[in-house]
Structure 1
């Protein structure tokens, strides 16, 4: 990913939320998401270049169609030796074409090469499509749950883990 990809990544991320979380989060909240509001946050995080954080994009015919971000697992503000998939989004028009699988495989491969022993991620408890996607890739819930709230609506998350075999 390069800085110039941020507007397209923001669009993919917002459309991804609006598509994937429909019926799980308040519709007014989802309708109010705007890529123009998100792009500044993405640029700032990208420019920070936090050690170990990797942003990947997938392209199709020269157009960015997916984004993934991974790095050290976060226990509050503390980064641990384990890896975390922070985000993965695919343009809703390109779902079920292997883009997400390719991004996830690359993130897992990079985390394995970096020596992480385990990769973790958080997924909405109700998001059965995403849970199936991660389970097909070998991830499994590890029993850890976390409350999450969006505009007064509880949308709890569950943590998934994949053993990587790193040190």
Structure 2
């Protein structure tokens, strides 16, 4: 095991993502999907994910991010080990006054070490400061560990559900919500 993983003096820092972070974030995203969604999505789809292909999509999204969209990275002793992205909630093509956590991924070898909590805490704080009344997110219905993670952070299912299609297979998602601010 990497000694830094056990070191009590390891530092975790959340900052805004830079364009230069795209290759590492693409790797974290792809490995995150392959780890978190195993058994919930077609394995052939997960096996076919490639960080080198994802980095170009990520760069384009990063450079073309809309107003209020923020990407954050978590660094563990200077190494990028997590990524989160949030912004206005998307109701189809329309952005609403609520906030949405679009994505949050942690390098699989850094799971359960506070990285995800730090990223989520910073996203919630920034959305609260921006004046959003609620933060919403979508999570795979079968992803029990992610659902527990969000519930511990004060999110709860709000009853909305929709399918997410992956390689022709419908994967059900549920929406979670959390009131922001003084409530």
**Common fold by TM > 0.5:** yes
Task: Tell me which of 118, 127, 130 is aligned to 1:111.
Answer: 127
| Corresponding residue of 1:17 | 33
Q: Write out per-residue CA displacement over residues 14-50 of structure 1, whole angstroms, 9 at most, x where no aligned residue.
A: 0000000000001110000000110001101111131
| Farther-moved stretch of structure 1 (157-166 vs 85-94) | 157-166
Q: Select 1:68's aligned residue among 84, 87, 96.
A: 84
Per the alignment, residue 48 of structure 1 pairs with 64
Unaligned runs of 5+ residues in structure 2 are 1-16
Alignment of 1:127-138 (within 5 A): 127-138=143-154
1:80 is aligned to 96
User: Which residue of 1 is the match for residue 13 of structure 2?
Assistant: none
User: In structure 2, the residue corresponding to 1:80 is in which secondary structure?
Assistant: strand
Kindly state the Cα deviation for residue 163 of structure 1 after the two structures are TM-superposed.
0.3
How many correspondences in the alignment?
166
Q: Separation in 1 of the partners of 2:50 and 2:164?
A: 21
| SS of match in other structure, 1:81 | strand
2:39 is equivalent to residue 2 of structure 1: no
C-alpha distance in structure 2 between counterparts of 1:121 and 1:95, whole Å: 20
Give the number of the structure whose alpha-carbon radius of gyration is greater. 2
CA RMSD in angstroms comes to 0.8
